């Protein structure tokens, strides 16, 4: 007589190491991360590298047998980290995605270590309840509508997609072609969202900007009238509260009035600038944002959370549930009178993005976060003043914390050659490892961007960065 299968000895091998090994590895990981954070200023910000160069560091055959976890950690810290572009670096001025904070790191460790499922109430009730609380905290910090609700997303692109899906639920005339109005300085994710949502290719109506790089409200009115006369149905105006190029804020009060007059959805892409509303200065700059039908925000920018955390808020939560309601036999056990986050956005399988946000807000408090944002804006103005002292450069002062500057055009010089000097300055500063800038186009002309969005950045860092820029300017 043979043993029944239920009594057979298991031959399954452990995937995890022993408890003692896990504890030792965890301690080592934290120690390495803290060591990395402790000397950020001494590390290079970034370096150029080809696929061949970096593949020689990291590529290897598919593993058939296990490697020790400690050796995997060594691989990362010895081969990957030294050449990593460090957005945590206090002189990383190239782009807006901001650095994390240690509270955010702790929250991410909690999320990875406990692995909650936050797509349904039944799947993760306590963490879902926590996300409801954090969404309320965010609306309170921004002075947004108490009735509003939202969801944490993977970033601003997904937040914009979610907001436009909500806006589509208000479409009255399903036969008329739809128009969505976006500033010429608007984020590319809006155009991509329109395509993903299946709108026609001519749905996006690009509104020119004025001399302050803000959406021209007079031209918007003219475009609305022309579209209506042509039988189109204006659906939504997408305004900027902090453009990627220069941090410009569109005239939000005027745009609010226009949207109410025409009865169309008003969405504000505040992925970069929205949390500036925590500060006295920012509240004034962002006046009118609170009237939007929907908001895009990025906690991984000015809430100093780890990358991959966006947020969308909608004044009328029913627009979200109308847009994303779904059904399936496998969902029949879910309590319908509780918050099931899969009905507020496109994801069913959702990680606990809330834990880093909760840790940062709870650990710092509103006043400390407001102080950090104010310091970023102050240091950006300092950078602008210091750059403006160099006669070779012309500067656009920041609205929030993005300084635009370029080489001045020399007598008899072509714009092509002048732009080449901008590019050379960016490349030389990057090659130095001391700081990182980026270039962009403003009205068809190249410009360098100097971003300050980092709680690690000090006044000394700003002065050092400007000194290097002056060294490499030609």
- Is the pLDDT at 84 greater than 80, yes or no? yes
pLDDT for the residue 4: 59
Distance of alpha carbon 14 from alpha carbon 17, whole angstroms: 7
Cβ atoms < 10 Å from Cβ of 50: 8
Q: Using one digit for the tens of pLDDT, what is the confidence trace for 348-395?
A: 999 999 999 999 999 999 999 999 999 999 999 999 999 999 999 999
Would you tell me how many other CB atoms lie within 10 Å of the CB of residue 54? 13
**pLDDT for 8 beyond 70:** no
Helix axes 102-114, 354-388, angle to 10 degrees: 150
pLDDT classification of 172: cutoffs 50, 70, 90: confident
153: helix, strand or coil: strand
Categorise residue 75: left if φ over 0, alpha if ψ from -120 to 50, beta otherwise. alpha
Give the residues across from 402 on adjacent strands.
Answer: 451
What whole-number percentage of the chain has pLDDT above 70?
Answer: 98
211-257, pLDDT tens digit by residue? 999 999 999 999 999 999 999 999 999 999 999 999 999 999 999 99
User: Whole-angstrom Cα distance, residue 103 to residue 93?
Assistant: 22
The reported pLDDT for the residue numbered 314 is 98
Here the tokens at position 434 are 């001391």
pLDDT digits (tens, 9 = 90+) for 18-36: 999 999 999 999 999 999 9
Give the whole-angstrom CA distance, residue 388 versus residue 402: 14
pLDDT at 3: 56
Q: Is the distance from CB of 438 to CB of 450 less than 8 angstroms?
A: no
Task: Provide the 3-class DSSP secondary structure of residue 32.
Answer: helix
pLDDT in tens, 244-302: 999 999 999 999 999 999 999 999 999 999 999 999 999 999 999 999 999 999 999 99
Instruction: Identify the bridge partners of residue 69 per DSSP, sorted by sequence position.
Output: none
Comparing C-alpha atoms, which of 141, 187, 189 is closest to residue 362?
Answer: 141
- pTM listed for this prediction: 0.94
Phi/psi for 183 (5° steps) reads -60, 150
Per-residue pLDDT at 303 exceeds 80: yes
Would you state the pLDDT for residue 98? 84
What does the angle CA 152 – CA 139 – CA 172 come to, to the nearest 5 degrees?
A: 75
Of 165, 190, 370, nearest in space to 269 by CA = 190
pLDDT surpasses 70 at 87: yes
Residue 9: the pLDDT is: 67
pLDDT of residue 173 exceeding 80, the answer is: no
Q: Which letter does DSSP use for residue 201 in this model? A: T
294 neighbors 265 (Cβ within 8 angstroms): yes
**306 close to 354: Cβ distance less than 8 angstroms:** no
In the chain, where the domains are located: 116-351
| Phi, psi at 92, each rounded to 5° | -85, 105
When the candidates are 3.40.640.10, 3.40.50.740, 3.90.1010.10, 3.20.20.150, the CATH number that belongs to 116-351 is: 3.40.640.10
Residue among 334, 255, 326 nearest 293 (CA)? 255
Asked if residues 419 and 429 have their Cβ atoms less than 8 Å apart, the reply is no
Q: Which tens digits make up the pLDDT trace of 184-193?
A: 999 999 999 9
Residue among 347, 380, 344, 167 at smallest CA distance from 272: 380
- Dihedral (CA of 295, 296, 301, 306) sign: positive
pLDDT at 7: 64
Q: How far apart are the first and last CA of the chain?
A: 89
Q: What is the rounded average pLDDT for all residues in the chain?
A: 95
């Amino acid at each position: 007589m043979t043993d029944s299968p239920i009594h057979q000895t298991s031959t399954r091998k452990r995937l995890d190491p022993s408890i003692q090994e896990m504890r030792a590895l965890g301690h080592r990981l934290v120690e390495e991360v803290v060591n990395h954070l402790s000397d950020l200023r001494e590390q290079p910000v970034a370096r150029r590298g080809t696929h061949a160069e970096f593949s020689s560091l990291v590529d290897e055959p598919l593993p058939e047998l296990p490697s020790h976890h400690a050796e995997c950690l060594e691989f990362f810290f010895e081969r990957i980290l030294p050449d990593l572009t460090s957005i945590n670096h206090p002189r990383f001025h190239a782009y807006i995605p901001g650095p994390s904070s240690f509270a955010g790191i702790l929250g991410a460790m909690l999320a990875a270590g406990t692995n909650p499922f936050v797509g349904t109430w039944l799947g993760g009730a306590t963490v879902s309840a926590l996300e409801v609380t954090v969404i309320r905290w965010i609306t309170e910090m921004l002075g947004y509508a108490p009735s509003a609700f939202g969801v944490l997303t993977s970033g601003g692109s997904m937040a914009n997609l979610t907001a436009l899906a909500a806006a589509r639920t208000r479409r009255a005339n399903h036969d008329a072609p739809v128009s969505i109005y976006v500033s010429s300085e608007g984020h590319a994710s809006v155009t991509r969202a329109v395509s993903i949502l299946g709108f026609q290719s001519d749905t996006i109506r690009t509104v020119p900007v004025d001399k302050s790089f803000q959406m021209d409200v007079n031209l918007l009115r003219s475009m609305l009238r022309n579209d209506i006369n042509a039988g189109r149905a204006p659906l939504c105006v997408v305004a900027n509260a902090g453009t990627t190029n220069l941090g410009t804020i569109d005239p939000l009060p005027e745009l609010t009035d226009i949207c109410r007059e025409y009865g169309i959805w008003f969405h504000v892409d505040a992925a970069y600038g929205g949390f500036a509303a925590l500060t006295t200065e920012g509240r004034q700059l962002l006046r009118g944002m609170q009237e939007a039908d929907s908001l895009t925000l990025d906690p991984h920018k000015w809430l100093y959370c780890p990358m991959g955390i966006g947020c969308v808020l909608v004044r009328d939560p029913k627009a979200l549930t109308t847009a994303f309601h779904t059904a399936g036999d496998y969902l029949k056990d879910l309590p319908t009178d509780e918050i099931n986050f899969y009905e507020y956005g496109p994801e069913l399988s959702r990680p606990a993005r809330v834990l880093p946000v909760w840790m940062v807000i709870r650990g710092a408090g509103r006043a400390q976060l407001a102080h950090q944002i104010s310091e970023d804006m102050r240091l950006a103005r300092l950078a602008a003043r210091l750059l403006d002292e160099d006669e070779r450069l012309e500067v656009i002062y920041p609205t929030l914390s993005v300084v635009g500057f370029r080489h001045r055009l020399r007598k008899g010089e072509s714009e092509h050659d002048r732009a080449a000097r901008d590019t050379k300055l960016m490349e030389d500063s990057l090659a130095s490892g001391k700081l990182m800038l980026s270039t962009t186009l403003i009205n068809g002309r190249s410009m360098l961007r100097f971003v300050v969005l980092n709680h690690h950045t000090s006044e000394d860092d700003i002065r050092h960065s400007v000194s290097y820029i002056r060294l490499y300017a030609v």
